[in-house]
Amino acid sequence: MTHGQGILFSFCIASLLTLSACTWHSKQREKTLLLSSFAWKNCGAPDDPAVMKSLSIQPDPIKIPGKVVASASGKTTVPLASPLSMNVSLEKEVAGFWVKIPCLEQLGSCHYPDGCSLLDMLIPPGQECPEPLHTYGIPCHCPFKAGDYSLPQSEIKLPDIELPFWLTNGNYRAQGVVASNGKEMGCLKVALSVHSAK
């Protein structure tokens, strides 16, 4: 199995690992952020070229700051290159109903014209990919070659982060769709609960 990743794998791993460090402000605080009940599934058509095959993140709940043990695998049957548009929908459960969160400061239910450019902003070209991607030779920039990709079980340190004020305690679900030239490449749904604890 080739050590690398498809675009969904890249955004789910590389972006999750670096987005907090690059776009959220580090902050010392008295409370710990707890992420629990993490679940995911593919939501694209059966013939979508990019799919996540497995994704495991432990423990439950995840403590931030703290450490997690993660593993993942995915594949793409076609090369994926810029521009790759991303449509993200983020919802919060309120009184038993799911309410869509608008796009605020590039977070929430947003459209990104080119996810490849996002990765270049998070990890400047020429800079080594963050761990554990670097250790396993997993790329974090476009283009992504067709093939199978795998991240073995790895320990990842999560820094302290300051979430936007509107991301308060509650249950959330998100869907991300990656497309190229108007054709869907892949779709991933994620659900989790966010809580703060002393």
Q: Among positive and negative, which fits the CA dihedral 47, 112, 110, 182? A: negative
SS3 for 111? Answer: strand
Please give the pLDDT value at position 198. 65
Lookup: tokens for 197: 């604890």
Residue 36, domain member (yes or no): yes
Q: Is it the case that residue 135 has pLDDT exceeding 70? A: yes
Residue 173, domain member (yes or no): yes
Confidence of residue 18 (pLDDT cuts 50, 70, 90): very low
Residue 121, domain member (yes or no): yes
Cβ–Cβ < 8 Å for 131, 159: no
* Range among 16-25, 80-89, 92-101 rated most confident: 92-101
For 31-74, write each residue's pLDDT tens digit: 688 889 989 999 989 899 989 889 888 999 988 888 889 888 88
Q: What is the mean pLDDT of the chain?
A: 79
Residue 1, domain member (yes or no): no
Q: Is it the case that residue 116 has pLDDT exceeding 70? A: yes
Lookup: tokens for 171: 């249950």
Return the CATH number at 182: 2.70.220.10
Please give the pLDDT value at position 30. 52
Residue 186 is part of which domain span?
7-197
Number of domains in the chain: 1
Confidence of residue 108 (pLDDT cuts 50, 70, 90): confident
Span 71-82, average pLDDT: 89
Measured CA to CA, the distance from residue 98 to residue 116 in angstroms comes to: 30
Residue 2, domain member (yes or no): no
Q: Is it the case that residue 19 has pLDDT exceeding 70? A: no
Q: Which residue did the predictor score with more confidence, 114 or 198? A: 114
Residue 142, domain member (yes or no): yes
Confidence of residue 4 (pLDDT cuts 50, 70, 90): very low
Contacts of 126 (CB under 8 A, 6+ apart): none
* pTM (2 d.p.): 0.81
